[in-house]
Amino acid sequence: MSWLLLALLLSGYYLLFWRVPLAGTGRYRVTPAEGFAGRDRDLELEVEFFLPIPAFWRIEAFALGRAGVQPRVIAGFGWGRVRFRLRSRARPLRRGEYRLPDPVLSIEDVLGVFRRQSTIDTNAASIVVFPRRWPVLSPALRLTLLGEGPEVRGVGLEDPTRYRGARPYRPGDPLRRIHWKLTARTAEPMVREYAFVRATGVWLFIDTAGAQGVFVDHAAELAASLAVVLMADGMAVGLAWPGGSLPPAPGAEGARRLLRALARLTPSRRVEEPPLPPPGVNLLILTQHAPPEVIEGALRARAQAAGVTLLLFPEGFFLRPGERGRPVWGRPPSVERLWAKRKLLLAAGVRVAIVRGKEPLHFL
């Protein structure tokens, strides 16, 4: 009789073990959910599931090594409702949007004979990693994007054709600015003062058509670095790429929208012309192959933009701060194509710069 009772209990036990659905709920919390590459994020996972019978259980979570997440495994023995929290830390080193995977729940019978496994649905949390931002940028590039616009007070380019008046000499003023006639009249050293001009905004166009992943990463880093600096100067910065665009917008929210788009930027197969920026806005084009559509678009945009600058990266990358270059030989087709039209572009007012893989940013 006892053997029969034991057989019935085991039958009922294993019937529940295999028949009752194995499910649970989970919720991720990421702090902060957005940020630049190389910075730590705190992760917390709250898990709840129900065991209809006594069983060994095991949870595997945070299995996302490419985002720098430290995996966690926790196991125990329980019956009924099980609820707990897991914590981990992530340090993603590359831009992108990383979706946190659903944790895996495994249960094992008390005799250790059978095992079941299932995933626990979560709230589809993700980590958005902004491109790296480099504080060291070409001063010439920054001033180029600031210039060619209306007169402003504060940060901008000095326009020697716009005379504003004179002021008393201050130590450090160049001697060539001394206003000799006014100095003789007032018996006090006076210097000429010119107006500062600045564009009303900047469009950044990243030509991702047929580009390598390394170019998209480098271009996103350059665009992020420029956008943060220019927005700190009070300028509105827009972003465009084949298949999408964000119009120029100032402020912290405009910066976050732009950085999110750069985090999700991927290579494209479609070739598109740069957008026509509004009057008074500078256009900066980043490209690896310089297709004819992009060159023609730069010429067309120059008729309306305050200024157009085209940066070509034939190898798809440039030297980051602290990196050393290696020899680069020959001229790729993109360089030949752009070099053939360089005079036409310069005559139209389009600045051209070719940055090889062994060089940091500079203007030719």
pLDDT exceeds cutoff 60 at 6: yes
Q: Any idea which architecture 139-149+198-354 has in CATH? A: 3-Layer(aba) Sandwich (3.40)
* Alpha-carbon distance values, 20 to 48, 85, 108, 150, 325 (Å): 16, 24, 14, 72, 62
Confidence of residue 363 (pLDDT cuts 50, 70, 90): very low
Phi, psi angles (nearest 5°) of residue 97: -115, 120
Q: Where in the chain is the domain with CATH 2.60.40?
A: 21-130
Q: Could you tell me how far CA 164 lies from the centroid of its own chain? A: 40
Q: Which of 36-50, 86-100, 116-130, 319-333 has the lowest mean pLDDT?
A: 319-333
Q: Is 0.95 surpassed by the pTM of this model? A: no
Quote the pLDDT of residue 261.
94
What is the three-class DSSP state of 50?
Answer: strand
User: DSSP letter string over 282-339?
Assistant: EEEEEESS--HHHHHHHHHHHTTSSEEEEEE-TTS--PPTT-------S--HHHHHHH
Compute the distance between CA of residue 357 and CA of residue 139 in angstroms, rounded to an integer: 20
Quote the pLDDT of residue 100.
86
pLDDT tens-digit series, residues 266-319: 998 888 889 888 877 888 899 998 888 999 999 998 888 878 888 888 888 887
Q: Which of 86-95, 139-148, 230-239 has the lowest mean pLDDT?
A: 139-148
Compute the distance between CA of residue 154 and CA of residue 149 in angstroms, rounded to an integer: 13
Burial class (CB in 10 A: 0-12, 13-18, 19+), 280: middle
Q: 3-state SS of the chain: helix, strand, coil percent to 5?
A: 25, 35, 35
Quote the pLDDT of residue 364.
32
Q: Any idea which architecture 21-130 has in CATH? A: Sandwich (2.60)
User: Is the preceding omega at residue 52 within 30 degrees of 0, hence cis?
Assistant: no
Q: Which residues pair with 239 in a beta bridge?
A: 204, 246
